[in-house]
Amino acid sequence: MKLSIPGRASTAAMVTAVTLLTTGAITGAAPASPLAVAAPDLPVANVKAHLAQLQSIATANGGNRAHGRTGYKASLDYAKAKLDAAGFTTTVQQFTSGGRTGYNLIADWPGGDTNQVVMSGSHLDSVTAGAGINDNGSGSAAVLEAALTVSRTQYQPTKHLRFAWWGAEELGMVGSRYYVNSLTTANRSKISGYLNFDMIGSPNPGYFVYDDDPAIEKTFQNYFAGIGIATEIETEGDGRSDHAPFKNAGIPVGGLFSGADYIKTAAQAAKWGGTSGRAFDACYHSSCDTTSNINDTALDRNGDALAYAVWELSS
């Protein structure tokens, strides 16, 4: 997340069954069909394997995966190779920021109505101080695994699925803004919703849902209600991540967040566990944001919620 300036398969199926008759796909959509395909479990072991790769890439490239550095490009190449092998149509978009070349990676799953695009994304860059495994390897790895699960299950949604990994978010959402600005008015209007995942495995986690588009928000809330987890409205990162350029362009947005350097309250610790009086992520933007800086339970729950939303909103 940019610095500010002064679950299980059976669970997913259960939640789907509970909400099929009440949850529309995205704003203005009809209720989901009773024949809608239940979202599969997003294997947390697979997500963690991607995080281990991102850590190795950072370690081999000066300790970070920051914009304009070799570690960022190697991270993008890792994701692209996985997606290409899985049958996605990938596009690398190039831009310049701060005198350095940056890259976005866009992956389209063939099929679905291209006039109704459900898009999920995360920023792939870290700060220069460290490997950025929670911020934002966690979101990037979960979005990657969701895309690979689409391929593995040969999911054929009604709507078109697009996944994205953004560059230079830490410099002010540069990559995502470049992408949105590059879209024609017609192509912007085809994006039914953009889902953002920026820090979803915080070590002292909270469960925060963006309160932007009501239908997308409700989809995430339904998932967490189905597994008995209370959520709160996300406020710490509001306007500080890659959903902001989409929202500013009039595209419906939503997303998940597990907390950065805000302090967990006693009430939140009573609700979610963890330690009150400490940051949700004490290693935020620091060298200690490594693979040891991840809460597996939060990563698992948020990853499954991501998959649930992608399947629900594209059916």
* Residues labelled as active-site residues: 169
Partnered with residue 253 across adjacent β-strands are 194
3-state secondary structure of 239: coil
- ω before 46 within 30° of 0 (cis)? no
In 159-216, the DSSP E strands lie at 159-166, 191-197, 208-209
The gap from C-alpha 205 to its chain's centroid, in whole angstroms, comes to: 16
- ω before 136 within 30° of 0 (cis)? yes
Helix (H) or strand (E) holding 117: strand 113-123
- d(CA 221, CA 68) in angstroms, rounded, equals 37
Decide: residue 183, CB within 10 A, 0-12 exposed, 13-18 middle, 19+ buried: middle
Helix (H) or strand (E) holding 54: helix 44-60
| Rg (alpha carbons) of the chain, rounded to whole number | 18
- The separation between the first and the last C-alpha atoms of the chain, rounded to the nearest angstrom, is 30
- d(CA 166, CA 207) in angstroms, rounded, equals 23
Number of H helices, E strands in the chain: 10, 8
Running DSSP on this structure, what letter comes out for residue 278? Answer: S
Type of residue found at 11: T
Q: How many residues does the chain have?
A: 315
Running DSSP on this structure, what letter comes out for residue 263? Answer: B
* List of residues 6+ apart from 103 with CB closer than 8 A: 72, 73, 76, 92, 93, 94, 95, 167, 175
